[in-house]
Structure 1
Amino acid sequence: MHPNQEINEIIQRINQGIASESDKDKLEAWYNSFDDTQSTIYSTFSPDQIKESIWHRVSGQLFNEKIKKFRKLYIASAAAAAVVAAGFFFYPSHAENNKLTSGVRLFDENGNGSVINSSLEDFLDSTKYVGLAGNSTDLNVRVLQTGHGEFIKVILPDGSKVAMNSNTKIQLKKNFGEEGNRIVYLDGEAFFDVKKHNNQKFIVRTKDQSIEVLGTKFNVKSYAKLAETVTVLYEGKIKLRNEQKAVMVAPNEVVTNDGEDLIKVAKDVKHTTSWRQMKFSFEEELIQDVIEQLSNWYGFQIQYQDEIPVQRISGELEQGMKLKDVLLVLENLSGAKCQLSNNILTIQFSK
């Protein structure tokens, strides 16, 4: 039996609650076989101490408590689990060898551009944002764009704050904040902390909807290639509309736009902020949308070998996971076969 197949079967038995002590020993041996020198570690602890701490946490979750839905991912990714505690961080590699970065490209209406570079430490610091006014070198910014594996937090000309996920583009209306409504066009995912400004409405337009606010905090995920647009409200009140209907949204409500209907539910929204802590979280999302989002983080191209099943999966990937471990998790959750070559991820669902 291929080693990865045996590990996958052990993981499945763990998730079913029928794993044996022998399974635990094999999983631990598999975990210890990985070369930790391939990860960049910022720590005052030795690699052995970090590895022992990670395994202690993982094994405690595996065998001392009932496995929860999200924890299944931690099981499958034990060899690369990142523990954000005790002063150490793992920064994940994406697109094989690249690392996540913090930065954004700015363009004016004529295509002239400049670049702002920040740091992941600043991105993770909730108090630190980059002001466009002091960094755009007199550029009349109309477009902000992050690349694959790139994140940024900025202050717009009206004082509103925006955190941008990877591969996200925001376009500002001409004379943004100076006259008329403040309109932004979003392709990607962004968290908005909108500042009230001269009673001007703040409007976010995506491929399939429009959100209207005065001052509030909300998150919108609307990549062009995703089948669904998801909006989450944390504070205040927003009006959301598509071509078919309009809904008022209250805090802790999530609205899913499938291109036709707007489905609003009240729920725990903590997982929706995880990307701002450099964690990849998804709850009951379509498998193709999860894969597209992984592509935004890790920078690979996607090639499907057969029809994509209508399947929803849930989980959370901690920062620090190597791409090979992410793909192992994806295979375990979806039943697909994933193969990465020359930065192209080939996915086959049928057996």
Structure 2
Amino acid sequence: MKQEQINDLIKKYTAGTATNEEREQLHQWYRDIAYADAEYPDDEHLVHKRMLERLQREIIPLRKSKVLIRRIAAAATVFLCLTAGFYFYRVRYKTVETTALSYDVEPGGNKAVLTLVNGSKVNLSGVKSGIVINTTTLTYNDGSKVQVSPRTEDLYPGAMPGSGPSSQQEMMVSTPDGGTYQVVLPDSTRVWLNAASSLKFPATFSGLDSRKVELNGEAYFEVAKIRTKSKTSAAGARVPFIVVSKGQEVEVLGTHFNISAYTNQAATKTSLLEGLVRIKNDKGNALLKPGQQAINGAKGIELVSGDAEDAIAWKNGYFMFDNEDLASVMAKLCRWYNVSVNYEDEAVKSVKYYGTISRFEKISKVLTKLETTGNLKFEVKGKTVHVSEK
């Protein structure tokens, strides 16, 4: 297929005006590219997913506005640039070596530690993706049992045998740098933990007026709605779910939201996808609505509009950068790949990037994309990424 035809099809596809035949032509064109590269899986769903990545989200560094405007205005084939630019770079310049490829680091994966109420620690399976916690058993999300003592009193010391855990006893799931894990809490609330994060919670929520958990790091929550038992009405009062994190409390009744609260992060960010949440700190409180993000920093709580889906890109397997400075970009990479970063010149930390890239690529591919689209050089030595100007 000629370049002009490809460009025209991509424009129609992204505008939503392509016919079924044209969509199939574009899909076939992409499949041909994907299958020509042995690194791409021969799977229709994954191929389509990667096509959307190329169509919409190839990483481009954000330079001065005039340069960006010229680039966009002059590019009659802008969609083609976004979709095929990196492919043609790979095919035509495979012999060009970059320093980022000298060493490599595998991406993070399923890694977590479960701390029982007696302080015992259990390394959770890396071939499983999540753990389900209830009052009598611990299982992975595929139904297989977590290998710990089957005796209830050993899992929840202080409770009478057979009586289950106490609401005053706490458990914790933590992920290291380069780790992620899913947790289903005793109330059926689902939590996705990002790298270098921990979630502390009661061994049971039974009998509590509120469900309070403590987060350090980043997590996405899908909170289960539960009510107290009432003798006077069919439906009791809703039991609020409270997340305590750096400098704030988030109170919800049942909703989907993301909190990023790393200790080395200037502000705690709460993004709401569904429902309503109330955020409190020592200076006041604010009600967050779907599509909004609360930034809790030195100036208090600031509400901003944005695409909440961007905030959970990590949960869906992506790094997403929206006018994000290099310092923030590298912080995310360091947590996920368990590496450190060294800047030859501190000034480069302010270079802005936007775009999306898979979290399941080796670090060399991520750095190569950053390097080939900007004026910075990335070199991996051992577990340290060295950043300098070209």
Query: TM-score normalized by structure 2?
Result: 0.61
Name 1:29's counterpart in structure 2: none
How far is the alpha carbon of 1:176 from its aligned partner? 4.5
Once the two structures are superposed, residues 190-214 of structure 1 have per-residue CA deviations (whole angstroms, 9 ceiling, x without a partner) of 1101112333321112122221111
- For 1:73 and 1:256, the matched residues in 2 are separated by 33
Q: 2:219 is paired with a residue of what secondary structure?
A: strand
Once the two structures are superposed, residues 255-288 of structure 1 have per-residue CA deviations (whole angstroms, 9 ceiling, x without a partner) of 2233333221223323223222211112233432
How far is the alpha carbon of 1:231 from its aligned partner? 1.2
- In structure 2, the gaps of 5 or more residues are 1-32, 59-71, 91-102, 140-145, 157-169, 229-237
User: Partner letter of residue 158 of structure 1?
Assistant: D
Name 1:104's counterpart in structure 2: 112
1:115 aligns with 2:116: no
- Contact 2:194–2:218 (8 Å) recurs in 1: yes
CA spacing shift, 1:294–1:259, aligned 2, 3 Å: farther
User: Highest CA radius of gyration, 1 or 2?
Assistant: 2
Alignment of 1:102-251 (within 5 A): 102-117=110-125, 119=127, 130-133=131-134, 134-135=138-139, 137=148, 138=152, 139-140=155-156, 142-173=171-202, 176-197=205-226, 198=228, 199-251=238-290
Name 1:126's counterpart in structure 2: none
1:66 aligns with 2:95: no
- For 1:78 and 1:167, the matched residues in 2 are separated by 36
User: Partner letter of residue 156 of structure 1?
Assistant: L
- Contact 2:269–2:296 (8 Å) recurs in 1: yes
Match of 1:264 among 291, 303, 309: 303
User: Partner letter of residue 293 of structure 1?
Assistant: K
Name 2:368's counterpart in structure 1: 328
Name 1:340's counterpart in structure 2: 380
- For 1:226 and 1:105, the matched residues in 2 are separated by 23
- For 1:107 and 1:316, the matched residues in 2 are separated by 34
How far is the alpha carbon of 1:248 from its aligned partner? 0.3
User: Partner letter of residue 183 of structure 2?
Assistant: V
Q: Name the Cα RMSD after superposition.
A: 3.7
- Contact 1:233–1:250 (8 Å) recurs in 2: yes
- For 1:119 and 1:64, the matched residues in 2 are separated by 46
How far is the alpha carbon of 1:77 from its aligned partner? 8.2
CA spacing shift, 1:346–1:201, aligned 2, 3 Å: same
Q: 1:256 is paired with a residue of what secondary structure?
A: strand
- For 2:370 and 2:356, the matched residues in 1 are separated by 11
Q: 1:270 is paired with a residue of what secondary structure?
A: helix
- For 2:87 and 2:383, the matched residues in 1 are separated by 21
User: Partner letter of residue 325 of structure 1?
Assistant: K
CA spacing shift, 1:178–1:291, aligned 2, 3 Å: farther
- For 1:112 and 1:145, the matched residues in 2 are separated by 13
Alignment of 1:241-320 (within 5 A): 241-308=280-347, 309-320=349-360
- Contact 1:233–1:254 (8 Å) recurs in 2: yes
- For 2:239 and 2:341, the matched residues in 1 are separated by 41
How far is the alpha carbon of 1:148 from its aligned partner? 3.0
How far is the alpha carbon of 1:338 from its aligned partner? 2.5
Name 1:7's counterpart in structure 2: none
CA spacing shift, 1:184–1:292, aligned 2, 3 Å: same
How far is the alpha carbon of 1:304 from its aligned partner? 3.2
User: Partner letter of residue 363 of structure 2?
Assistant: L
- Contact 2:106–2:363 (8 Å) recurs in 1: no
User: Partner letter of residue 324 of structure 1?
Assistant: S
Q: 2:315 is paired with a residue of what secondary structure?
A: helix
Once the two structures are superposed, residues 165-221 of structure 1 have per-residue CA deviations (whole angstroms, 9 ceiling, x without a partner) of 222211125754542422222122111011123333211121222211111111111
CA spacing shift, 1:241–1:347, aligned 2, 3 Å: farther
- For 2:374 and 2:43, the matched residues in 1 are separated by 38
- Contact 1:149–1:166 (8 Å) recurs in 2: yes
Query: TM-score normalized by structure 1?
Result: 0.67
How far is the alpha carbon of 1:144 from its aligned partner? 0.5
- For 1:203 and 1:221, the matched residues in 2 are separated by 15
What percent identity do the matched residue pairs reach?
24
- Contact 1:106–1:115 (8 Å) recurs in 2: yes
CA spacing shift, 1:231–1:200, aligned 2, 3 Å: same
- Contact 1:172–1:185 (8 Å) recurs in 2: yes
- Contact 1:331–1:338 (8 Å) recurs in 2: yes
Q: 2:312 is paired with a residue of what secondary structure?
A: helix
How far is the alpha carbon of 1:316 from its aligned partner? 0.6
